[in-house]
């Protein structure tokens, strides 16, 4: 579990628009940066004291994180951080991604409208040039969220609800970023996203297919070292 001393006093800086959102953000950032180690318990009473809130918003935030696959709840034990993917889970998931996501990009290029393209452009711009928190953990975890939203937007444009639902339920991008906490992932992903956008701007389905295939393959190759 994260070092209590590192989290102590965060209640002094927690100024959420709502208490639950603030608690959620705090725990989410710690999970994504591995400050809360995979598999470690998340004692509600301890977090309530450290964040200076009651246990109710802690429970509500953990419930949201459970739906996203980042924490697990066991009867009589409580909440714990989700374990990292195994090598087998990782390879199976990427095999599936390579089967479906290039086709998703091709379909998205066929279905692209000026409005949808603008939304993707805005999403990519937010990832590359948006608000940049001083804290690296926060910056990295926000990028992970934005990356998931960017890919989900492409799936929405593609219009295949079965694929979108299946990948959404796997929470692919959040778990990918938990595997390797370093900055190279973000910069290279931005460059690959730009190649995708160029294909969408050109209205070229085959180019979009190829750009997504390369993006998924490179993502896989970047993360393989996490299992070595």
Q: What residue segments make up the domains of the chain, in order of their start?
A: 4-81, 87-227
Q: What is the pLDDT of residue 76?
A: 84
Q: What is the pLDDT of residue 18?
A: 87
Contacts of 152 (CB under 8 A, 6+ apart): 164, 168
Q: What is the pLDDT of residue 184?
A: 61
Q: What is the pLDDT of residue 85?
A: 87
Tell which CATH classification among 2.120.10.30, 1.10.620.20, 3.10.20.600, 1.20.120.530 matches the domain 87-227.
1.20.120.530
Question: Taking a C-beta distance cutoff of 8 angstroms, is the pair 106, 208 a contact?
Answer: yes
Cα dihedral 98, 183, 119, 201, rounded to 10, equals -60
d(CA 79, CA 23) in angstroms, rounded, equals 15
Q: What is the pLDDT of residue 210?
A: 98
Q: What is the mean pLDDT of each run of 10 residues along the chain (228 residues)?
A: 43 59 92 90 94 94 93 92 90 95 98 96 78 62 84 95 90 77 70 96 98 95 81
Q: What is the pLDDT of residue 15?
A: 45
Q: What is the pLDDT of residue 97?
A: 95
212: closest CA among 155, 143, 127, 142?
A: 155
Dihedral pair phi/psi, residue 80, rounded to 5°: -145, 160
CATH class of 4-81: mainly alpha
Q: What is the pLDDT of residue 9?
A: 41
Q: What is the pLDDT of residue 129?
A: 62
Q: What is the pLDDT of residue 48?
A: 94
Question: Taking a C-beta distance cutoff of 8 angstroms, is the pair 70, 28 a contact?
Answer: yes
Q: What is the pLDDT of residue 6?
A: 46
Mean pLDDT of the chain: 85
């Amino acid at each position: 579990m994260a070092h209590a001393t590192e989290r102590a006093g965060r209640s002094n800086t927690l100024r959420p628009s709502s208490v639950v959102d603030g608690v959620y953000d705090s725990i989410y950032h710690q999970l994504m940066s591995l400050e809360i180690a995979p598999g470690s318990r998340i004692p509600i009473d301890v977090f309530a004291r450290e964040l200076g809130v009651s246990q109710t918003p802690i429970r509500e935030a953990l419930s949201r994180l459970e739906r996203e696959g980042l924490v697990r709840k066991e009867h009589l034990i409580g909440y714990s951080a989700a374990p990292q993917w195994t090598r087998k889970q990782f390879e199976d998931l990427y095999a599936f991604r390579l089967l479906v996501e290039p086709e998703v990009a091709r379909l998205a290029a066929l279905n692209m409208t000026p409005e949808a393209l603008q939304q993707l452009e805005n999403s990519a711009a937010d990832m590359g040039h948006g608000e940049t928190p001083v804290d690296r953990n926060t910056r990295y975890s926000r990028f992970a969220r934005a990356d998931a939203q960017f890919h989900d937007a492409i799936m929405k444009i593609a219009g295949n609800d079965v694929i979108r639902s299946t990948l959404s339920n796997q929470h692919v991008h959040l778990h990918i970023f938990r595997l390797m906490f370093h900055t190279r992932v973000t910069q290279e992903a931005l460059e690959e996203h730009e190649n995708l956008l160029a294909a969408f701007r050109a209205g070229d389905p085959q180019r979009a297919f190829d750009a997504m295939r390369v993006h998924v393959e490179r993502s896989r190759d970047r993360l393989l070292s996490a299992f070595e």
